[in-house]
Amino acid sequence: MGLDYFFGFSKINFWFSERIKNSRDCRSDTFNFPQAVRFKRVYRPAQQIDRVRMDYLYPDKEVNPEVFQRYMSEFEDQLSLFKDKGIRVILIRPPLPERIYNMIPNEAWFDAVLKDVAEKHGGELLILRTLTRTRSSIWTRTI
């Protein structure tokens, strides 16, 4: 206690922390923004919006085999190059809400194809299957 009295550290520290707390630079930047309360809302899914979005993103419900094969062969060439250079590849499928996953055409088929390609080239496929309301996900290595 004597050294604290001698150096005055607690007084300086208190003054410094109070000054920072009351500083204009350290105040919340949302105090003057009335719409800030909207950021605390929880998203409520709307099936109509999801359907319109999926129709826009996937206008053709079927996969064009020529286009798919062209992109997949380029992807396999990259995986072969990585394997030749000794680079370990892990493919990660990010989580999707289950309602969206079920609406995407041929998604389960694509997961199976991607798994086969990864295994063929010594890679690994990590699927983060679903995203729930609590933001927890299930990690699976197989489909």
pLDDT in tens, 66-89: 999 999 999 999 999 999 999 999
Please tell me the predicted confidence (pLDDT) of residue 141. 47
Task: Please tell me the least confidently modeled range out of 41-45, 46-50, 60-64, 107-111.
Answer: 41-45
Kindly report the pTM of this predicted structure.
0.58
Please state which of the ranges 13-22, 34-43, 97-106 shows the lowest mean pLDDT: 13-22
Q: To the nearest whole percent, how much of the chain has pLDDT over 90? A: 24
- The pLDDT, as a whole number, for residue 66 is 94
Which alpha helices (DSSP H) does the chain contain, by range? 2-7, 9-21, 47-57, 65-84, 98-103, 107-120
- Residue 115: CB atoms within 10 A of its CB come to 19
Contacts of 111 by beta carbon, 8 Å cutoff, 6+ apart: 93, 125, 127, 143
Local structure of 7: helix, strand or coil: helix
26 has pLDDT over 90: no
